[in-house]
């Protein structure tokens, strides 16, 4: 094992880990420099593994993570800038606290690795395993935020279809264990070998079949309502008219089987929307329309929801169940925020949104069960396994909050991962873009670009049989990581005892 990092001064270690974090983040969308990302993770593990003490391991790993998350998630400032006068001052604090808070998971992983693997020549593998477990926990703790994980750099690589075998945690293990092995003198070739094997699995997996000749046609509507204008009274009719125009436009091929509007695109509360629903029915004719809507529940709390409309009647509903902390509700200390007059950034209705009951499908005529993901819900891999296997996943979102660069593209990449994991196609209806069609291997087959009003008519992509990951979930990856850590713990006990 290379021991040079232990000879670094604290300042040199700081800058080395910060640089490694930036390099690792450049593997994520929109940059897509996944070979650079792989080397960034290898460099970060190299530095952490050479720490002299668990405390030093914590510091180096925290710096590595903070630089990584600050680079990958820099778009988090965008929601604060929508209403700059009211919330612009929060933007730098949002980025600092998010990057620094998420990096605590990596810092704890660094400290644990230095404690578990003390004196071991395989310390880089111990660091890789603790980082992988930290990332798994980051996806669950405090409702979870599994965005910009190490394995996500493979979304933009030829290895994306391998997600059908490994899943997101498995891809993270591949990236980190390969990076760890690259730092071992006798195992140095094993690191690139692991990466190449994962890429080869992705390349060798058969492509998703083309849509069947008799496949249903889907219309995706993109009204391009900029967030700072979306709820301004004089602009709301303009955006609604854009969506109606796209809905009633002549088909680009076969008549649509279903029309899908984006998140919160109904301009009225659902229970007061009779006129708007009749307008949609006039535009759509007999075609059912999936529409993003809002409504107050019987408990007086608002819901963010998707509704299926047929002839102006609501025939099915789904209520978003995984809300955005600090966006749609204020966690833990909501009364304190209420006292100082601060609400969730995306909170348009008084009281903060109430979560729905859980994941669900909507049965759409001519399609079958459609799994609905509203915005943030698409970043979580496990929810679709909680329902009957759908024929299609529909992502209804408003990415206008995320700016024009990294945020929308990373969100699109995560829906590609959902498709590849499950072998089920995904369609995205996004308010300002990127609306897209993604086949069952995660390949984007058609898009509407950002900040463009219009629609897409597309054939329903073919689905694949249930993937290995669809049947096993993250269990195998958890087992590998925990067994590896158990081996290091057993070694420590033998030495200390």
- In sequence order, the 6+-apart residues with CB closer than 8 A to the CB of 358 are 321, 386
> Do 477 and 167 meet the contact criterion of CB atoms below 8 Å apart?
yes
Instruction: Say how far apart CA 304 and CA 296 lie, in whole Å.
Output: 9
Q: Which of 17, 230, 319, 320 is catalytic?
A: 320
Q: How far is CA 124 from CA 41, 52, 119, 300, in A?
A: 11, 14, 11, 53
Q: Active site includes 421?
A: no
Choice among 17, 126, 135, 263 that is catalytic: 263
> Does residue 230 carry a catalytic annotation?
no
CA distances from 292 to 190, 317, 372, 377 (A): 48, 10, 11, 14
Task: Give the position of tokens 């054939």.
Answer: 459
For residue 157, count other CB atoms closer than 10 A to its CB: 20
DSSP string for residues in 417-432: HHHHHHT--EEEEESS
Name the token pair of 132: 């992988």
User: Rounded distance, CA 380 to CA 365, Å?
Assistant: 27
The residues, ordered by sequence, that sit 6+ positions from 203 with a Cβ below 8 Å of its Cβ are 158, 159, 161
Cβ contacts of 434 within 8 Å, gap of 6 or more: 399, 408, 409, 412, 428, 447, 448, 449, 450
8 A C-beta contact, residue 276 and residue 266: yes
| SS3 category, 91 | helix
Q: Tell me if residue 320 is catalytic.
A: yes
CB within 8 Å of 237: residues ≥ 6 apart = 267
- CA–CA separation, 79 vs 416, rounded Å? 23
Token pair of 281 as six digits: 């029915």
Q: Which DSSP letter does residue 302 get?
A: E
Cα–Cα distance, 137 to 490 (Å, whole number): 22
Query: Do residues 413 and 155 lie in contact, with contact meaning Cβ atoms separated by under 8 Å?
Result: yes
Distance CA 10, CA 20 (A): 15
Please identify every residue annotated as catalytic: 263, 320, 375
């Amino acid at each position: 094992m290379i021991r040079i990092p232990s000879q670094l001064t604290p300042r040199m270690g700081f800058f080395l880990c910060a640089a490694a974090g930036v390099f690792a983040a450049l593997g994520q969308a929109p940059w897509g420099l996944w070979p650079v990302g792989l080397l960034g993770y290898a460099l970060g593990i190299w530095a952490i593994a050479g720490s002299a003490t668990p405390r030093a391991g914590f510091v180096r790993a925290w710096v590595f993570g903070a630089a990584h998350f600050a680079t990958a998630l820099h778009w988090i400032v965008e929601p604060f800038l929508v209403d700059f006068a009211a919330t612009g001052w929060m933007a730098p604090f949002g980025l600092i606290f998010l990057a620094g808070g998420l990096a605590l998971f990596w810092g704890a992983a660094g400290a644990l690795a230095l404690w578990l693997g003390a004196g071991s020549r395989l310390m880089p593998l111990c660091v890789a395993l603790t980082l992988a477990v930290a990332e798994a926990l980051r996806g669950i703790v405090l409702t979870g935020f599994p965005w910009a994980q190490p394995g996500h750099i493979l979304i933009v690589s030829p290895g994306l279809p391998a997600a059908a075998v490994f899943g997101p945690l498995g891809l993270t293990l591949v990236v980190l264990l390969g990076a760890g092995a690259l730092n071992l003198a006798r195992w140095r070739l094993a690191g690139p070998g692991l990466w190449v094997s994962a890429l080869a699995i992705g390349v060798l997996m058969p492509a998703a079949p083309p849509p069947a000749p008799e496949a249903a046609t889907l219309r995706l509507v993109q009204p391009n309502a900029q967030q700072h204008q979306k709820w301004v009274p004089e602009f709301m009719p303009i955006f609604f008219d854009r969506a109606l125009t796209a809905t009633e436009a002549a088909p680009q091929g076969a008549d649509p089987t279903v029309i899908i509007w984006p998140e919160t695109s109904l301009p009225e509360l659902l229970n007061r929307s009779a006129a708007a629903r009749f307008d949609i029915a006039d535009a759509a004719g007999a075609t059912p329309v999936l529409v993003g809507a809002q409504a107050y529940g019987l408990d007086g709390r608002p819901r963010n929801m998707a509704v299926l409309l047929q002839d102006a009647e609501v025939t099915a509903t789904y209520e978003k169940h995984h809300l955005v902390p600090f966006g749609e509700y204020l966690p833990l200390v909501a009364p304190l925020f209420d006292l100082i007059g601060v609400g969730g950034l995306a909170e348009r209705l008084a009281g903060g949104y109430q979560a729905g009951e859980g994941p669900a499908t909507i049965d759409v005529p001519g399609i079958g069960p459609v799994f609905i993901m509203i915005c943030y819900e698409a970043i979580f891999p496990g929810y679709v396994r909680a329902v009957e296997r759908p024929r299609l996943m529909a992502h209804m979102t408003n990415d206008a909050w995320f700016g024009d660069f990294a945020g929308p593209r990373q969100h699109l990449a995560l829906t590609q991962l959902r498709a590849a994991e499950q072998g089920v196609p995904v369609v995205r209806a996004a308010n300002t873009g990127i609306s897209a069609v993604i086949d069952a291997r995660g390949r984007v087959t058609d898009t509407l670009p950002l900040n463009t009003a219009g629609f897409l008519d597309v054939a329903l992509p073919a689905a694949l049989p249930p993937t290995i990951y669809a049947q096993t979930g993250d269990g195998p990856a958890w087992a590998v990581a925990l067994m590896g850590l158990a081996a290091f713990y057993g070694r420590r006990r033998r030495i200390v005892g």
